[in-house]
Amino acid sequence: MQQRYNRYEKARILGARALQVSYGAPVLIETDQSEPILIAAEEYDAGVLPFTVQREGK
C-alpha cells in the first residue's frame, strides 16, 4: 500500500529528489524530460521514489 502524502510532504519529496537528480543521481525511470523537477514528478507519479515520511503524533 502506497502512503498518501499531503501537499507539503509532496513538495518536500519532489524538491529533495530534484536536488539529487540535479547533482547527478541516477534517474529511476525512463523519461524524455531534462528538468530535474519534472523528472522527480514523473518518478513520484510512477511510485518509484524511496522516500518515507515520519509523522509526529500518529
pLDDT tens figures, 14-37 = 999 999 999 999 999 999 999 999
37 part of a folded domain: yes
> pTM, whole model, 2 decimals?
0.87
Q: Output the domain CATH number for residue 27.
A: 3.90.940.10
Q: How much is the pLDDT for 14?
A: 97
Q: How many domains does the chain have?
A: 1
| Count of C-beta atoms within a 10 Å radius of residue 10 | 14
pLDDT at 11 over 90: yes
Is the CA virtual torsion 20, 22, 26, 29 positive or negative?
Answer: positive
Domain of 12? 7-46
2 part of a folded domain: no
